Amino acid sequence: MINLGQLKEIKDLRKVWPHEALDFTPWLAEEENLMLLSDAVGLEITVEETESSVGDFNVDIYATETGTDRKIIIENQLEDTNHEHLGKLITYASGKAADIVIWVVKHAREEHRAAMEWLNNYTDENIAFFLLEIKLYQIGNSDIAVKFEVIEKPNDWVKEIKRQSSSSPILQARYDYWVAFNEYAFSNAAFGRVFSRRKASTDHWMSLSVGSSACHIYLSQVRKDNNITVEWYITDDKDLYQKFYAHKADIESDMGMALDWRELPNKKASRIVVIREADFDNKDKWPEQFEWAMDAAMKMKKAFKKYL
């Protein structure tokens, strides 16, 4: 006979995080914890700064969407929502020229949920407001599990991506490929522990966070050459590129594959790439392409991170 435990919710968040700024915000800013939030909102988030200055105030977390220029502010509240924090949220969004606003709370009061809904409906379509509740669960004396439950998000968050993809056959093809990749990759627990889910898009590339704003991993569909690439992308730091290059032999040995090292001296970015042929039109071949890309990305993150 199987003994099943009873799932219980821990209502007092401060049993886990006694202080909002000193305990919860640093915890959330850690990569593995931020992945939980990233998965909930469907964004890949890179932390730029905690307690980031906005005039005389500080926003809890200032971040960016990995691979884009979209700015994100995250305001944390280990209590029920209130007018003071809603006001702070607007002030911080203005001060940081934020594109995405995330309010993480213990409990969302109805009037504040309605306010966030109103902001999504009546502000610029390029600005997104999210309201999430933190939930803590435990079975018996097990480790405590955290869940971020989305209470409010833009109405067209998913529809917009689908709308963009329907306007062009090539955009639709790219989108379909990334949707299938996400479904395959994130059904793999090992991959899900290393990377947070990135929403499918019509771009030829998908970015994966490595826990640093200086670098990230790109997966790319290069359809004109019939190949898929996985690359370590260094945004703007030639010294960092040289640091990695000094360990080229060790990195390639750790990964078990040769890499194409592209410093690109006349450009800001540098790229370190591995390439595989891909038949994008044959969906039966997609799983083996996904497996290769997943394996390369996981090995790449592990090999490079020790030199960050």
Among 157, 178, 209, residue at a domain's last position = 157
Q: Span 267-281, mean pLDDT? A: 93
Above pLDDT 70, what percent of the chain? 95
161 versus 151: which is more confidently predicted? 151
192 occurs within a structural domain: yes
Model confidence band, residue 254 (pLDDT cutoffs 50, 70, 90): very high
Q: pLDDT value at position 204?
A: 86
DSSP 39-63: HHHT--EEEEEEEEEETTEEEEEEE
Q: pLDDT value at position 235?
A: 87
How far, in Å, CA of 144 to CA of 231, rounded? 36
144 DSSP 8-state letter:
P
Question: Residue 305: is its pLDDT beyond 60?
Answer: yes
Task: Please check whether residues 266 and 191 belong to one and the same domain.
Answer: yes
Model confidence band, residue 166 (pLDDT cutoffs 50, 70, 90): low
Question: Residue 96: is its pLDDT beyond 70?
Answer: yes
Task: Please check whether residues 106 and 169 belong to one and the same domain.
Answer: no
Can you tell me whether residue 256 is helix, strand or coil?
A: coil
Number of domains in the chain: 2
Model confidence band, residue 266 (pLDDT cutoffs 50, 70, 90): confident
> Could you give the angle at the alpha carbon of 97 between the alpha carbons of 125 and 100, nearest 5°?
50
Among 157, 175, 209, residue at a domain's last position = 157
244 occurs within a structural domain: yes
Question: Residue 158: is its pLDDT beyond 60?
Answer: no
Task: Please check whether residues 94 and 12 belong to one and the same domain.
Answer: yes
Task: Please check whether residues 132 and 213 belong to one and the same domain.
Answer: no
Asked whether the beta carbons of 85 and 103 are under 8 A apart, the reply is: yes
Task: Please check whether residues 190 and 259 belong to one and the same domain.
Answer: yes
**Which two three-digit tokens encode residue 223?**
């359809």
Task: Please check whether residues 169 and 299 belong to one and the same domain.
Answer: yes
1 occurs within a structural domain: no
Task: Please check whether residues 288 and 203 belong to one and the same domain.
Answer: yes
247 DSSP 8-state letter:
T
Look up the domain containing 21 and give its range. 7-157
Model confidence band, residue 153 (pLDDT cutoffs 50, 70, 90): very high
Task: Please check whether residues 182 and 152 belong to one and the same domain.
Answer: no
Q: pLDDT value at position 79?
A: 96
265 occurs within a structural domain: yes
Model confidence band, residue 10 (pLDDT cutoffs 50, 70, 90): very high
How far, in Å, CA of 133 to CA of 131, rounded? 7
CATH number of the structural domain spanning residue 20: 3.40.1350.10
Q: Span 120-138, mean pLDDT? A: 90
- The pTM (predicted TM-score) of the whole model is 0.64
Task: Please check whether residues 94 and 135 belong to one and the same domain.
Answer: yes
257 occurs within a structural domain: yes
39 occurs within a structural domain: yes
Kindly report which listed range (93-107, 188-202, 242-256, 291-305) carries the lowest average pLDDT score: 188-202
236 DSSP 8-state letter:
S
**Which two three-digit tokens encode residue 268?**
């800001």
Half-sphere exposure of 5 (CA within 13 A, CB side): 9
Task: Please check whether residues 56 and 116 belong to one and the same domain.
Answer: yes
Tell me which range, 62-76, 214-228, 238-252, is most confidently predicted by mean pLDDT.
238-252
Specify the residue for token string 């020790």.
306
CATH number of the structural domain spanning residue 255: 3.30.1460
Task: Please check whether residues 142 and 165 belong to one and the same domain.
Answer: no
Task: Please check whether residues 178 and 152 belong to one and the same domain.
Answer: no
25 occurs within a structural domain: yes
